[in-house]
Amino acid sequence: MGRLRGIKLKSRHLLIIFIAVCIVLMGLSLLSSKTRGPLRYIAGYTVVPMQKGFNKLGGWASDFTQNFQTIKELRTENKKLQQQIDDLTVENGELALNQKELTRLEELFKLDQNYGDYPKVGARVIASNTSNWFNSFTIDKGKKDGIRVNMNVIAGSGLVGIVTEVGPNWSTVRSIIDDTSYVSGMMLTSGEKCMVQGNLKLAASGKMKFEDLPVTENEEGEEVKIEEGEQVVTSYISNKFLQGILIGYVSEIKTDESGLTRYGYLTPAADFSDLQDVLVITQTKAETMKSNNGKD
């Protein structure tokens, strides 16, 4: 090492050269997202298959350790589940009542375009962000499967994130609990808009923050109350997220010092601690808007 075509390179020079390389790379990637193209292709065919393999291995290992769960644990879990069944039966009754109201409200907010109608493709999570600071993950579908940047990703009933990068056979998804994530949300019943943001501090406790919710008054001059458990969905003004996808449930709400806006916390509907399979909605907001405009 150190001999480059017969010239002895000092470590200080090597340092300067590589720092320059990094700065140039940063500059280029700021200017154009295409910089990563070639490297991305190489990664797609070398590292990603290995990630898939490792992931299978890890899944097998975790199954193996789970088999050693003691009977005691299973019993307590069984008890808990029984309790849950009881709770759910009660809840189910309530929900049946709410269903009627919901149908009406959906019409009211033109949420008839439920996300059951959006074309979706299933994907498997194969790796998660390597750092403890950010919350993103890699899925095993890419350009070949029709995935493109800005597609929304859901799991179960709730919004998970958005595709930020696409490789030939993989894509990166930034989850909504990531510290850099902002989603324009809306209270389902009142239609008031707010900003839902991920927060590293809150992510540990499985919560998210929402801000800029206006304090609105009804005709009698009373403040419109938002109840805990209120559903927050993606709003129609978002230019990246499709309208009406469930983000989570309000768990706490406060009025800020100015008295003009409210903020609070919500529990995301998707379970981020155990993400394995997700659904990618293969229609972006931009396309939806375009096709809607075409109709008019």
Distance (Å, rounded) from C-alpha 174 to C-alpha 135?
Answer: 7
Distance (Å, rounded) from C-alpha 277 to C-alpha 61?
Answer: 18
Q: How many residues are present in the chain? A: 296
Question: Would you count residue 224 as binding other proteins (CB under 8 A)?
Answer: no
Q: Which residues pair with 123 in a beta bridge?
A: 278
Whose Cβ is closer to other proteins: residue 130's or residue 293's? 130
Q: Is residue 210 classed exposed, middle or buried when 0-12, 13-18 and 19+ CB atoms within 10 A define those classes?
A: buried
Question: Would you count residue 41 as binding other proteins (CB under 8 A)?
Answer: no
Distance (Å, rounded) from C-alpha 19 to C-alpha 203?
Answer: 34
Q: Which candidate, 244, 247, 232, 231, places its Cα nearest to that of 285? A: 244
Residue 206: how many CB atoms within 10 A of its CB? 14
Piece of 9-17, 77-85, 107-115, 288-296 that binds other proteins (CB under 8 A): 9-17
Piece of 109-117, 200-208, 222-230, 248-256 that binds other proteins (CB under 8 A): 200-208
Binding footprint of other proteins, residue count (CB under 8 A)? 55
Question: Would you count residue 204 as binding other proteins (CB under 8 A)?
Answer: yes
Q: Which candidate, 228, 229, 208, 210, places its Cα nearest to that of 272? A: 208
The site string for other proteins over 152-181 (x = CB under 8 A, - otherwise) reads: ------------x-------x------xx-
Q: How far is the CB of 195 from other proteins (least distance, A)?
A: 14
Q: Evaluate whether 245 touches 154 at the Cβ level (below 8 Å).
A: yes
Question: Would you count residue 114 as binding other proteins (CB under 8 A)?
Answer: no
Question: Would you count residue 45 as binding other proteins (CB under 8 A)?
Answer: no
Q: Evaluate whether 161 touches 176 at the Cβ level (below 8 Å).
A: yes
Whose Cβ is closer to other proteins: residue 172's or residue 283's? 172
Q: Which of 30, 31, 71, 96 binds other proteins (CB under 8 A)?
A: 30
The residues that touch other proteins, with contacts defined as CB under 8 A, are 1-2, 9, 11, 14-15, 18-19, 21-26, 28-30, 35-36, 39-40, 43, 46-47, 50-51, 54-55, 58-59, 61-62, 65, 125-134, 136-138, 164, 172, 179-180, 199-201, 204, 276
